Chains A and B, each alone.
Chain A
Amino acid sequence: MTLPTYLTYDFGGQSEFCLCFGERHAARTIIIIPPVFDEMNRTRRMLVEVMRALAGRGVCSLLPDLPGFNESLADISKQTVSTWRRALEEALVQLNPTHIVSLRGGTLIDDVADMPILRLAPVKGASLLKTMLRSRLVADKEAGINSTIDSLMASAKFGFLELSGYNLSNEMLLSLQDAAPSTSYQFQEIALADIDGTPLWLRAEPQDDARMSAAFADKLDVWSSTCAK
């Protein structure tokens, strides 16, 4: 079995973790910008299997932690979409990938470098935010608390709002509300049907999908070999 190596990149005075599979000096190094919030957890296993398969084909891949997620010690309540993008820019400079792959919330910050970009299931920040707000409404209702989306959003002005276990500042809520995948660089988009996939990020529990991981790795191998840096 191909084993990972554990890299780091520095951002904001901290070391952020970055999972790596494959030879570091391979001709192709794909950095995967993961989904954000819970969707990151729900897709991680599937993505790691993609990385393992890519390593078997001689393609190196990187999966960085964005500040506030996974192993990151950064305070999520101090992040915004812009700090994630700046962190990613740092990761690119320090880790030297040749290609970018982004999924879901990762597509909100993939406009960081003029290199080949491939997107899967782009989503607007406003949609991610609304789903989390609705989950909070349901949880509040079950706890006998009467809240509305407006009252929740307003509460962040005096501290932060807890959504899906993440403490989000007013600046974060506003930045999510406005964030959309950029079209300033050329990118390719693939559909779930192209990789025999299902939207694991929508599920209540993390799952994996070996067939999807294998097909996704195939697709990335072909794509990255046909669009050189």
Chain B
Amino acid sequence: MPLTTQETIRAILTDVLGLSVDQVAAMDDHTELFGALPELDSMAVAGLLTEMEDRLGIIIDDDDVDGDMFATLGSLVAFAHTKVSG
């Protein structure tokens, strides 16, 4: 069964940031990401964006990217949803 957008985003956070599966599983929509996770620095954002494009089959315009998008898990998944549904 294909992963949902939410599951894909969680898998990308595990893979790119090297977070443990348990840590990512314990996150909810309100969990803060950018500024709260030391692993998520501005350079890691570049890797996250490319993985999101590859795994979700979307194209992300770099002009769309701002800090708010990575504020929480919920905001990141919401952004991905708008791209996936097109």
Contact = CB atoms under 8 A, between A and B. Distances in A.
B44 interface: yes
Interface in B25-67: 39, 41-47, 49-51, 53-54, 62
A194 interface: no
**Interface of A (DSSP majority class):** helix
Contact of A142 (B14, B42, B51): B42
B47 A131 contact: yes
Q: Number of contact residues on B: which range applies?
A: 10 to 19
Contacts of A149: 62
Contacts of B84: none
Interface string A114-157: 00000000000001001110110111011000001100000000
Contacts of B41: 204
Contacts, number: 46
Contacts of A127: 50, 53-54
B15 interface: yes
Contact of A198 (B15, B39, B44, B47): B15
A149 B49 CA distance: 14
B15 A134 contact: no
A134 B49 contact: yes
A141 to B, nearest CB: 8
A224 B41 CA distance: 40
A199 interface: yes
Contacts of A131: 46-47, 49-50
A202 B15 contact: yes
A138 B54 contact: no
Interface string B1-41: 00000000000001111100000000000000000000101
Given A135-B43, A204-B44, 9 more contacts: A132-B46, A134-B46, A134-B49, A135-B46, A137-B46, A142-B42, A148-B62, A202-B15, A203-B16
